[in-house]
Structure 1
Amino acid sequence: MELGYFSMPSHPPECGLKEGHDWDLQVLRWLDELDYQEAWIGEHHTAPWEPNPAPDLLIAQALLQTKKLRIGPGGFLLPYHHPAELANRVAMLDHLSEGRLNFGVAASGLPSDWTMFNVDGMSGQNRDMTREALEIILKLWTEPAPFTHKGKFWTVTKPDTMFDFLKPHLKPLQAPHPPIGVAGLSKNSDTLKLAGERGFIPMSLNLNPAYVSSHWDSVEVGAAKTGRKPSRRDWRLVREVFVADTDEEAWRLSAGDMMGRMMGEYFLPLLGHFGFKDYLKHTPEVSDSDVTVDYCARRNWIVGSPSTVAEKIETIYRDVGGFGVLCVFGFDYKHKPDAWRRSLELLQREVMPRLRHLGAELPKAA
């Protein structure tokens, strides 16, 4: 099992845009120093708690300030990008990364974003647009012959050579393209079925482990369509994690600090508006009103001393049937930077050595 990082990025609404950007950049430098495998950066347009409309700006800077860390959008919201433009931009970014780029894609789930871009998310149009956009992007990268794609949402032409020297020529450095990751939230997730179907990296967002265990079923359903055999080694689980020297200190710095504030002011109310609090419950009998910050911290988060955190991770691993990468859910601790870096360091240096035995039995994808 390896370690990664998933950043929305999350910042409190009073945080300046550059101030938040600089914090995210600092964390990415730490991740590289601490030998984390990868980091994923989200895209959102209308959420003051998730102020990052252009993840590639942060990624481009971070690539210059890191050496080993794989970095990628987690993900580009495909309904809001012209697929030909994004194909060219990602290809260029892959070259700048010297092959360290991951390409995360998502369908977008915020109604306020849908409204801004005139996308009918309630009918599933955002998911249809995501599939079509990704099909076009991959075709532009891999189809050598000229073509015209006339889709439901976009018409894109890859022209033949014009005036002897003008032609589409931008392709990613990684062949045939950077690793593609997709994030899933709901049960029977369409995006996780797509991951299984196409051999993409499946990512399960930070929900109750008992609920997340159903996500692998979606991956396998998709894989069956194309005769693939997916590997749990590729499965990423995003979790809230805080490690400190003692359980008491970890609790105070997580539920009693920015993790608790963000969950209480933003994430829990957001899931409540969608009717998604069931995703956080360990059993359906729990009432929505009981799904509080304290409930999530005790039931879902991975918080405590190194020994406590190692036990919790192994329990989740066994409960869901195994996974390949644990992605730490990012929070804004620029007011206590040493505590956040210490948590990341303890997770890598003291927790992970206790878990090296996990994953040895997981087969590779076929």
Structure 2
Amino acid sequence: MELGYFSMPSHPPECGLKEGQDWDLQTLRWLDELGYQEAWIGEHHTAPWEPHPAPDLILAQAFLQTKTIRLGPGGFLLPYHHPAELANRVAMLDHLSNGRLNFGVAASGLPSDWAMFNVDGMSGQNRDMTREALEIILKLWSEPAPFTYKGKFWTVTKPDTMFDFLKPHIGPQQLPHPPIGVAGLSKNSDTLKLAGERGFIPMSLNLNPAYVGSHWDSVEVGAAKTGRKPNRRDWRLVREVFVADTDEEAWKLSAGDMMGRMMGEYFLPLLGHFGFKDYLKHAPDVPDSDVTVDYCARRNWVVGSPLTVTEKIEQIWHEVGGFGVLLVFGFDYKHKAEAWHHSLSLLKNEVLPRLKHLDAGMPKAA
């Protein structure tokens, strides 16, 4: 098992935009120093608790401030970008990263973002646009000959050489392209089917482990369409994690601090508006009113001493049938920076060595 990080990025609404980015960069530097494998930075446009509209602005700085960690958007919201422009921008970022870029893509799930960009998310238009945009981007990177792609949402031309010297010339450093990751939330997730279909990295967002187990089914359904055999080592699970020296201290710093505040003020109400609280329940008959911060912390979060966290992660691993990378869900702890750094350090140095026997490439019973 390996460790990574998934950041929306999350900041309380009173946090300044630069102040929030400075914290994110500090965290990325720590992750690099601690030997985390990767980190993913989200994109949102109308959520004060998820305030960053351009993950590549963080990434361009972070690549200069880190040495080995792989970084990527988690992900670019493809319905809101012209595919040709984004293809060039991502390719350039791959060169700036010196080949450390992961290319995360997503369909966008916030109705307020849909409204800003006039995308009909209720009909699934966002998912259709995501598939088409990604197809165009990959074609621009892989097809050397001139072409015109006429899609439902975009018409894109890769022109032939003009005036003897003007021609498309920007392609990624990593060939045929940077590793592509897609995140999924819902049951029968279309994006996770896409991951299986195209051999992309599947990422399951922070839900109840009993629910997340169904996500791998979506990956396998997609893989079956193209005759692929997906590998559970590629599967990323996003979890809320806080490790401290004792269970009591970890609980106080998580449910009793910024993790609890963000979940209580933003994430739980948001899921409630969508009717998505079922995704957090350990059983279908649990009333929505019972799905509180305390319930999520006890049932879904990975909080406690190194020994407790080790036991919880191993339990989740077996419940879902095995996965390859645990992605720590990012929170804004700049007011208690040492505690957040200590948590990341304990997870890497004391918990992970106890989990090395978990190999997602082995049969489930292993």
TM-score higher than 0.5: yes
- 1:154-195 residue CA offsets vs partner (Å, 9 max, x unmatched): 000000000111100100000000000000000000000000
Contact 2:233 2:361 (C-alpha < 8 Å) held by counterparts:
no
Contact 1:39 1:70 (C-alpha < 8 Å) held by counterparts:
yes
Q: Distance between the aligned counterparts of 2:134 and 2:158, measured in 1? A: 15
Q: Distance between the aligned counterparts of 1:267 and 1:25, measured in 2? A: 23
Structure 1: which amino acid aligns with 2:343? S
Structure 2: which amino acid aligns with 1:165? F
Q: Distance between the aligned counterparts of 1:189 and 1:146, measured in 2? A: 34
Runs (4+) of structure 1 exceeding 2 A deviation are 360-363
- Determine if the alignment matches structure 1 residue 309 to structure 2 residue 283: no
2:23 equivalent in structure 1: 23
1:124 equivalent in structure 2: 124
Q: Distance between the aligned counterparts of 1:90 and 1:76, measured in 2? A: 10
Q: Distance between the aligned counterparts of 2:149 and 2:56, measured in 1? A: 26
Return the offset for 1:362.
Answer: 3.2
SS at match of 1:15: coil
Return the offset for 1:53.
Answer: 0.2
- Determine if the alignment matches structure 1 residue 228 to structure 2 residue 228: yes
SS at match of 2:4: strand
SS at match of 1:149: strand
- Determine if the alignment matches structure 1 residue 41 to structure 2 residue 47: no
Structure 1: which amino acid aligns with 2:201? I
SS at match of 2:23: helix
1:105 equivalent in structure 2: 105
Q: How many aligned residue pairs are there? A: 363
- Determine if the alignment matches structure 1 residue 72 to structure 2 residue 75: no
Structure 2: which amino acid aligns with 1:184? G
Contact 2:183 2:192 (C-alpha < 8 Å) held by counterparts:
yes
SS at match of 1:10: coil
Q: Distance between the aligned counterparts of 1:146 and 1:236, measured in 2? A: 37
SS at match of 1:242: strand
Q: Distance between the aligned counterparts of 2:356 and 2:153, measured in 1? A: 47
Return the offset for 1:269.
Answer: 0.1
Contact 1:231 1:362 (C-alpha < 8 Å) held by counterparts:
no
Q: Distance between the aligned counterparts of 1:98 and 1:35, measured in 2? A: 18
Contact 2:323 2:360 (C-alpha < 8 Å) held by counterparts:
no
- Determine if the alignment matches structure 1 residue 63 to structure 2 residue 46: no
Contact 2:302 2:312 (C-alpha < 8 Å) held by counterparts:
yes
Structure 1: which amino acid aligns with 2:75? G
1:124-143 aligned at under 5 Å gives the runs 124-143=124-143
Return the offset for 1:360.
Answer: 6.3
Return the offset for 1:244.
Answer: 0.1
Q: Distance between the aligned counterparts of 1:361 and 1:229, measured in 2? A: 12
Runs of 5+ consecutive residues of structure 2 not aligned to the other structure: none
Return the offset for 1:222.
Answer: 0.1
Q: Distance between the aligned counterparts of 2:39 and 2:59, measured in 1? A: 9
Q: Please tell me the root mean square deviation across aligned C-alpha atoms, in Å.
A: 0.6
Runs of 5+ consecutive residues of structure 1 not aligned to the other structure: none
1:151-162 aligned at under 5 Å gives the runs 151-162=151-162
Question: Structure 1 103/360 Cα, relative in aligned 2: closer, same or farther at 3 Å?
Answer: closer
SS at match of 2:334: coil
Paired-residue identity, %: 88
Q: Distance between the aligned counterparts of 1:277 and 1:329, measured in 2? A: 18
Q: Distance between the aligned counterparts of 1:164 and 1:266, measured in 2? A: 55
Q: Distance between the aligned counterparts of 1:120 and 1:217, measured in 2? A: 27
1:277-292 aligned at under 5 Å gives the runs 277-292=277-292
1:144 equivalent in structure 2: 144
Q: Distance between the aligned counterparts of 1:140 and 1:361, measured in 2? A: 33
2:327 equivalent in structure 1: 327
- 1:232-258 residue CA offsets vs partner (Å, 9 max, x unmatched): 000000000000000000000000000
Q: Distance between the aligned counterparts of 1:362 and 1:144, measured in 2? A: 40
1:54 equivalent in structure 2: 54
Structure 2-normalised TM-score?
0.99
SS at match of 1:296: helix
Contact 2:209 2:320 (C-alpha < 8 Å) held by counterparts:
yes
2:178 equivalent in structure 1: 178
Return the offset for 1:361.
Answer: 4.4
Q: Distance between the aligned counterparts of 1:255 and 1:82, measured in 2? A: 40
Q: Distance between the aligned counterparts of 2:45 and 2:52, measured in 1? A: 7
Structure 2: which amino acid aligns with 1:326? L
Return the offset for 1:91.
Answer: 0.2
SS at match of 1:335: helix
Q: Distance between the aligned counterparts of 1:362 and 1:261, measured in 2? A: 39
Structure 1-normalised TM-score?
0.99
Contact 2:99 2:174 (C-alpha < 8 Å) held by counterparts:
yes
